[in-house]
């Protein structure tokens, strides 16, 4: 139970019909949390692998069983809505506030004890091992037509409590190297379920982007004796050209070398490695500034009266279990929309060579995001 100024967060754990774990997070009275999942589900089987790319050293997850996952169901068959009126879903209760459950079609599943030793097929260039880890779905609200941007601050804080709880538990699991909390929104991004939700991956490796930032932070420390993330935040706060919003504990800015047309990074002023290390004051301020940013994205291509839901990815970057002492917790939020009627597709330079080319100047993007403040 996590105490907050709005009251304690109640955590209720139940089992779904196939044995997967479901966790309800509630503020105040939790009703109907003993509802039983009555679906005739067989225990799921995940046969994913992680394979090492010999050219880059990155681990690639192969999860062929996900080809049969639920894809754009009609609203009355949404698996993330509560179970009501005889329609059974992933959430047995008739209503909920925030719910987290193990993905039915996970890219990663199982414990480190199941992994065994990394296996070879006789060729040292073909290194593979079982895709152990965990994939969870985070449902922000029972309202199918809502969005994160439409939540009030108390509900957004409850989501933050759930993210923090899951980060603490998953990062303590044997074999988990990094916990990645994120939200994809919009069909343009590739979202297959329209219900407002995010995901959490407990990964058995450090992600390539994190690995590169660890290398850069080490170079910066060697050259200057200082922390890269602290210097980066200080530089952006000193030059407000790209600052979008700032509070007592958090600052949001468009990065100097933004990859996406509208991209915002949100940093706490005090460097911490992950969500579990935030202070109560930092947690209290975060929901308001995060909701403000999401609403600005919706006003970029619409208006205050008629906002247009921007497709976006909101990615929490947290330090991995090993080698991440220099890293700082931060959110990277970006949309692939560059104008009201144009998307930013990954072209040959980006997809083929990971060399991003941005059509929108970061300074202009920051100016536009300041203009659409509520």
CATH 3.30.428.10 is right for the domain spanning 9-205: yes
Of the candidates 142, 190, 149, the residue with the CA atom closest to the CA atom of residue 299: 149
Q: With beta carbons less than 8 A apart as the criterion, state whether 370 and 264 touch.
A: no
Helices (H), the chain: 153-171, 208-224, 228-238, 280-300, 353, 362-371
Per-residue confidence (pLDDT) for residue 2, from 0 to 100: 45
pLDDT of the residue at 187: 94
- State the DSSP H helix or E strand holding residue 103, giving kind and residue range, or none if neither: none
pLDDT of residue 3: 45
Q: Which two tokens stand for residue 323?
A: 């080698």
Tell me if residue 127 falls in helix, strand or coil: strand
Which residues does the annotation mark as catalytic?
197
Every domain of the chain with CATH number 3.30.428.10 lies at: 9-205, 209-371
Cα(276)–Cα(272) distance, rounded to whole angstroms? 9
**Distance in angstroms (rounded) separating the CA atoms of residues 232 and 329:** 13
Cα separation, 50 vs 109, in Å, equals: 11
Predicted local distance difference test score (pLDDT) of residue 119: 66
Closest CA to 205 of 133, 149, 290: 133
Find all residues with CB under 8 Å of 55, minimum gap 6, and list them. Answer: none
pTM for the structure as a whole: 0.95
CA 323 to chain centre: 21
Q: How many CA atoms lie within 13 A of 238 on its CB side?
A: 6
Q: What is the reported pLDDT for 43?
A: 87
The candidate with the shortest Cα–Cα distance to 292, out of 244, 364, 358, is 244
Residues of the chain with pLDDT under 70: 1-7, 113-120
CATH topology of domain 209-371: HIT family, subunit A (3.30.428)
């Amino acid at each position: 139970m996590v105490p907050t100024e709005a009251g304690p967060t109640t955590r209720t754990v139940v089992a779904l019909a196939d044995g997967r774990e479901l966790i309800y997070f509630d503020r105040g009275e939790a009703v109907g949390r003993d509802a039983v999942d009555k679906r005739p589900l067989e225990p799921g089987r995940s046969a994913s692998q992680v394979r090492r790319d010999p050219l880059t050293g990155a681990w690639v997850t192969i999860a062929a069983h996900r080809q049969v996952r639920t894809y754009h169901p009609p609203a009355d068959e949404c698996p993330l809505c509560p179970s009501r009126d005889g329609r059974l879903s992933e959430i047995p209760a008739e209503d909920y506030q925030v719910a987290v459950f193990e993905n039915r079609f996970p890219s990663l599943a199982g414990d480190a004890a199941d992994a065994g030793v990394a296996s070879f097929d006789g060729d040292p260039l073909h290194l593979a091992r079982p895709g152990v880890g965990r994939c969870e779905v985070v449902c922000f609200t029972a309202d199918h037509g809502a969005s994160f941007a439409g939540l009030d601050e108390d509900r957004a804080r409850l989501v933050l409590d759930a993210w923090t709880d899951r980060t603490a538990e998953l990062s303590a699991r044997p074999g988990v190297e990094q916990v990645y909390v994120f939200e994809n929104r919009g069909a343009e991004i590739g979202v297959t379920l329209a219900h407002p939700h995010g995901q959490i991956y407990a990964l058995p490796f450090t992600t390539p982007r994190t690995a590169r930032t660890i290398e850069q932070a080490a170079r910066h420390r060697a050259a200057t004796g200082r922390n890269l993330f602290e210097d980066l935040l200080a530089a952006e706060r000193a030059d407000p050209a790209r600052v979008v919003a700032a509070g007592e504990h958090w600052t949001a800015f468009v990065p100097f070398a933004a990859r996406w047309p509208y991209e915002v990074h949100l940093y706490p002023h005090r460097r911490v490695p992950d969500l579990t290390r935030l202070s109560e004051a930092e947690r209290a301020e975060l929901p308001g500034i995060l909701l403000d940013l999401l609403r600005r994205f919706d006003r970029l291509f619409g208006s205050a009266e008629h906002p247009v839901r921007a497709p976006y990815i909101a990615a929490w970057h947290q330090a991995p279990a090993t080698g991440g002492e220099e890293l700082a917790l931060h959110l990277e939020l970006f949309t692939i929309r560059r104008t009201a009627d144009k998307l930013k597709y990954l072209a040959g330079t980006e997809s083929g060579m990971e060399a991003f080319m941005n059509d929108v100047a970061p300074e202009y993007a920051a100016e536009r995001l300041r203009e659409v403040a509520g």
